[in-house]
Amino acid sequence: MKVELITYPNKILKAKSEEIKKIDDSIIKLLDNMKEIMYKYKGIGLAAPQVGINIRVTIIDLQKNDPGFGLVEMINPEILENAGEFEEHEEGCLSVPDFYSPVPRGKYIKIKYIDRKGEERTIETDTFFSVVAQHEVDHLNGILFIDRISPLRKELFRSHRRKMHLKTG
Ligand SMILES: [Zn+2]
């Protein structure tokens, strides 16, 4: 199956994703397809719902933003601990094109997940990876970054959407 990037307000983005019981070829293929799409659109993270599939898979590659990490592929990721406050930063999303806003996020996280080989892994970090991982796990729970921004920022988002509609007719 060929997968493509989907964007807001597609309902798939609002649904809670299912846990994966077995890592078969379709999951491996999905991981590879997601990687292709993420690099094509120059994203630093991508979750399966963003390609129209509501299962708990996400990938992150911070590239130059956080050199401590390469490509991380996470199946059934679960944030076990989340503490502190990350300093203000602009967040964006491939599924919410051309809009950026600060989002309140924890600083330190401990996240556990299963890799493509079925091995359980844990990452503890308080770097930028932490923010991106929180954004991606949100996707698996049907939450977008625009759901976490202030009412004023939401109003900016709505006017941004109106302008986009005018532009595209
Ligand atoms: Zn996103």
pLDDT at position 128:
92
* CA 25 / ligand 1 centre spacing (Å): 25
- Both tokens of 141, joined, read 């729970």
* CA 102 / ligand 1 centre spacing (Å): 13
**Does a structural domain hold residue 2?**
no
**Does a structural domain hold residue 104?**
yes
- Whether 136 is catalytic is yes
Distance between CA atoms of residues 80 and 84, nearest Å: 14
* CA 13 / ligand 1 centre spacing (Å): 9
- Residue 5 DSSP one-character state: -
> What percentage of residues in the chain have a pLDDT greater than 70?
98
Question: Domain count of the chain?
Answer: 1
pTM for the model stands at: 0.94
Across 151-159, average pLDDT? 94
Out of 4, 78, 90, 136, the active site residue is 136
* CATH number reported for the structural domain that contains residue 143 in this entry: 3.90.45.10
* CA 95 / ligand 1 centre spacing (Å): 6
pLDDT at position 1:
63
Instruction: Check pLDDT > 80 for residue 65.
Output: no
Instruction: Check pLDDT > 70 for residue 169.
Output: no
Give the confidence band of 66 by pLDDT, cuts at 50, 70, 90: confident
**Does a structural domain hold residue 3?**
no
**Does a structural domain hold residue 1?**
no
Which residue range is the domain that position 16 belongs to?
Answer: 11-168
